[in-house]
Structure 1
Amino acid sequence: MSLDLSERLMSVNGIDLHVTEVGSGEPLLMLHGLAVDATAQAHEIETLADSYRVIAPDLRGHGRSTRPTTFTLRDHVDDMIALLDMLGITRTAVLGGSMGSYVAQALALTVPQRVQKLILVVATSHGSTSSSARVRAEHADELRDLSPEEQQQWLNARLFAPETPESVRQQVRDWYISRYSLGLGMSAEQIEAANNAVVGFDFRGELPGLDIPTLLISGRHDILNPPAEGERIARLLPSARLEVFEHSGHLPSLEEPQHFLFSVRNFLAEQPISAG
């Protein structure tokens, strides 16, 4: 990468967060999904850093950040507020994918004055648990004798649109293999702790009062958070629009990368983001 890249551990709320920061300009906080970390967004981070100051933490319980045995969605929110404070950022755009979209919604509802724009990718507004935990529970008999890594590979195989190329599927498989080989994969207990953090979240009653420009991106073939979930959020928010990616499942940034980056850039460019 030609841009200056900073990776560091930052102490917040009694834990260490591993934070990647790259680029300059208006800030963009990027929040990853469950059981992955910021490196899963490497292509988007590198590409968007040519125009924005991208901040991409490994959320607590993930990647190179501290992995407590128990934590909550509010802990994620408090971590992000503390991180923004430490970086001197008063307002930022926030892009969250899957579980990261739950954290993004909770952050915006908690401190709306600090969120200039929202990009919610394969999002839902409520759930009794994470969407991946729900799908695993529905196939518990099939998964019973599989290791956590094997269960993740089983789930990964079902995340894509039918027409997604094998090269993209292999890219995801290789990413997980590399994280486990580096000792950064998640154990069954760690995945359970991450799932427990989002048990019983429900933003539906609060979203109508959140008047923040929002872009929702859903994948037509997503089995975890299908387009109907994005449509529900778009109806609830006063200033939101939904784009359904017709050739994507749960990973539109990988399945339709050019379309994804075009949509994100256009949305962010529609009006300036006020930096802190």
Structure 2
Amino acid sequence: MSLIKINNININVNITGEGKPLIFIHGIGGDQTHLDTIIQPLSKHFKTIALDCRGHGLSDKPAEYTLQDHVQDVLGILAYYKLSSVNLFGVSMGSYIAQAVAIAAPERIEKLVLTVPKSNGLTSSVQRLFSEHSSEIEGKNLHEATLTLLRYFTYDADVMKQHINIFETDLPREQFAAANKALAGFDFRKDLAKVTAQTLVISGKYDGLNPPEEGREVAALIPDATFVEMQYSGHAPMFEEPEHYLKTVSDFLLSPL
């Protein structure tokens, strides 16, 4: 891992493997390590470039930033490493950033994988879910609240308790608030037709954060996109159906354009 200066802040980036560059963008409150289970096998076929988004992980944490800042950071990574084109993978928050990158620079993205995405939102999905179930989690800390609400966005809450860390955050309250604020009020619906990347959209049937209908909408708005609904997953298909998920993503990325 190394810190590189992008747009006047330090971004933590980890590069493994050789081949076509494949950039990974994680979800809100997390970091690149949350994607290790998919990065490691794919690094046998691609040069995987995983980043901690600004405000997350080991990257700098400005007091305020926007979704567009995230987009410029990804484009800045392309410029820093002199990458003319890449494949791009995003999960949850990362899928919003990835959509915006593919809209802003369609000629730079060859293949696009969007996991549990949505095309628009007034707030982050986590913030929305917490607000909708505020009476159930009143007086609970973040860990307790996440455990309480797990059943609303996973297929098997008991099984996913083993992976509860991917739904939690080490960010202090004010930094997590800044991360949520950056996702307020985005809407890509009028612009997704600009995406030219070959696109795979994956949703989980039991995802109460970004339900499958949100993924279907994204796929419908991107020309010739493929939509897959995983039947025994919620918001974390790479952990809920790991073999099926990895095969679905690998087959897509390794198929010829």
Q: TM-score if structure 1 supplies the norm length?
A: 0.88
Residue 75 of structure 2 is aligned to residue 75 of structure 1: no
Partner SS, residue 24 of structure 1? coil
Distance 2:165 2:30 in 1: 13
Q: CA deviation at 1:175?
A: 5.8
Matching residue of 1:94:
88
With 139-148 and 212-221 compared, the bigger mean Cα shift is at 139-148
1:169 corresponds in structure 2 to: 161
Call closer, same or farther: CA 1:155–1:15 in 2, change over 3 Å: farther
Structure 1 residues 174, 120: closer, same or farther in 2, change over 3 A?
closer
State how 1:20-35 maps to structure 2 within 5 Å.
20-35=14-29
Distance 1:224 1:240, change over 3 A: same
Cα deviation, residue 187, structure 1: 1.5
Alpha-carbon contact 1:212-1:239 (below 8 Å) kept:
no
Gaps spanning 5+ residues in structure 1: where?
A: 1-6
**2:171 aligned partner, one-letter code:** M
Q: Distance in 1 between matches of 2:145 and 2:182?
A: 20
Does the CA contact (< 8 Å) of 1:157 and 1:169 recur in 2? no
Q: Cα distance, 1:59 vs. partner?
A: 0.3
* Alignment partners' CA distance in 2, 1:148 and 1:230: 27
**1:53-99 alpha-carbon deviations (Å, 9 max, x no partner):** 00000000111111111100010011111111111211001010000
Judge conservation of contact 2:30–2:166 (CA < 8 Å) in 1.
no
What is the DSSP-based 3-state SS (H/G/I as helix, E as strand, rest coil) of the residue aligned with 1:229?
A: helix
1:207–1:237: 8 Å Cα contact kept in structure 2? yes
Say whether 1:116 aligns with 2:82. no
Aligned pairs, number: 257
Asked if the contact 1:28–1:55 (Cα under 8 Å) also holds between the matched residues in 2, the reply is yes
Deviation at 1:150, TM superposition (A): 3.6
Name the counterpart of 1:261. Answer: 246
8 Å CA contact 1:148–1:186 kept in 2: the answer is no
Distance 1:193 1:174 in 2: 20
Q: Among 166, 175, 179, which residue is 1:194 paired with?
A: 179
Q: CA RMSD in A?
A: 1.7
Normalising by structure 2, we get a TM-score of 0.94
Q: CA deviation at 1:153?
A: 4.2
145-154 or 108-117: bigger deviation? 145-154
SS of residue matched to 2:252: helix
Structure 2 alignment gaps of length 5 or more: none
Alignment match of 2:154 (pick from 147, 157, 160): 160
Indicate which of 4, 7, 17 corresponds to 2:11: 17
Please give the alpha-carbon distance, in whole angstroms, between the structure 1 residues aligned to 2:167 and 2:185: 28
Distance 1:176 1:206, change over 3 A: closer
2:85, 2:120 → 1: CA distance? 25
Give the Å deviation of 1:236: 1.0
1:241 aligned residue: 226
Structure 1 runs, 4 residues or longer, greater than 6 Å off: none
Contact 1:148/1:188 (8 A) holds in 2: no
- 2:49 counterpart SS class: strand
The alpha-carbon distance between structure 1 residues 152 and 60, as it changes in their structure 2 partners (threshold 3 A), is: farther
Does the 8 Å contact 2:204/2:232 carry over to 1?
yes
Residues 53 and 156 of structure 1: is their aligned pair in 2 closer, same or farther, counting only changes over 3 Å?
A: farther
Q: Quick one: structure 1 residues 175 and 267, their matched pair in 2 at CA, closer, same or farther if it must change by over 3 Å?
A: closer
Distance 1:34 1:215 in 2: 21
Match of 2:193 among 205, 208, 215: 208
Per-residue CA deviations over 1:114-158 (Å, capped at 9, x if unaligned) read: 111110000000000111110011122333423344444444454
Partners of 2:2 and 2:97 lie apart in 1 by 21
